C-alpha cells in the first residue's frame, strides 16, 4: 500500500505505480510482500530489496528458479524499476507511461532510486527478569459470526 494512501487516505495514479513496483519485486523474487511477518530483520519484501540494493547484491533477491545468468540485465532493470516505483514520496515515483518506457528499454539510463516507504522493521523490546531482551509480539485473532434466520 502506498504511503500516501496508508497515512493520509490519498489515492492517485502514483498509488497504482507503487503497487506495480511491489508486483514486479514479487514476481522477480518469487515471494509475496506479506511473507515477512515473522522475519526479525525485514517487515516486507521491499525492505529486503532495498537492503540488497544498497549492498550491491540485488541479484540475491531473484527467485532461484530464474536463470540469473540468462536474464541478468533484465532482472537488474526490473528491480531498479520496482524500486523507483516504490519510492516513499509519490512525486518521486515515475508516471505510468515512463514506467512502461523503462521496462521496454526505451529509457536507457535509469536513475538510482531513493529510499522506498516502509522498509524498516520496528520491534519493541522487553527485558525479562533474567536480563534477556525479548520481542513483544501481538496475536491478531479473527472471529467469524454466521447469522442465520429463525
CA distance 139 to 6: 22
3-state secondary structure of 92: helix
Is the CATH number 3.10.20.30 carried by domain 3-119? no
| CB 101, CB 107: distance < 8 Å | yes
Q: What is the mean pLDDT of each run of 10 residues along the chain (150 residues)?
A: 55 77 91 66 78 91 90 92 89 92 92 76 45 49 68
- Give the predicted TM-score (pTM) of the model: 0.70
pLDDT the model gives residue 57: 92
CA distance 76 to 125: 37
Which element (helix H / strand E) includes 135? strand 133-135
**By C-alpha distance, which of 54, 117, 44 is closest to 80?**
54
Amino acid at each position: 500500500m502506498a504511503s500516501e494512501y496508508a497515512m493520509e487516505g490519498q489515492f492517485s495514479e502514483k498509488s497504482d505505480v507503487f503497487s506495480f513496483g511491489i508486483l514486479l519485486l514479487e514476481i522477480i523474487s518469487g515471494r509475496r510482500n506479506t511473507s515477512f511477518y515473522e522475519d526479525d530483520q525485514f517487515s516486507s519484501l521491499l525492505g529486503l530489496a532495498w537492503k540488497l540494493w544498497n549492498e550491491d547484491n540485488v541479484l540475491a533477491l531473484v527467485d532461484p528458479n530464474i536463470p540469473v545468468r540468462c536474464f541478468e540485465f533484465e532482472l537488474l532493470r526490473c528491480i531498479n524499476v520496482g524500486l523507483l516505483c516504490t519510492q516513499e514520496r509519490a512525486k518521486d515515483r515515475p508516471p505510468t507511461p515512463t514506467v512502461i518506457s523503462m521496462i521496454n528499454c526505451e529509457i536507457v539510463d535509469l536513475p538510482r532510486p531513493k529510499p522506498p516507504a516502509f522498509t524498516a522493521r520496528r520491534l519493541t523490546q522487553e527485558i525479562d527478569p533474567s536480563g534477556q531482551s525479548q520481542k513483544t509480539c501481538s496475536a491478531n485473532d479473527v472471529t467469524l459470526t454466521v447469522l442465520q434466520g429463525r
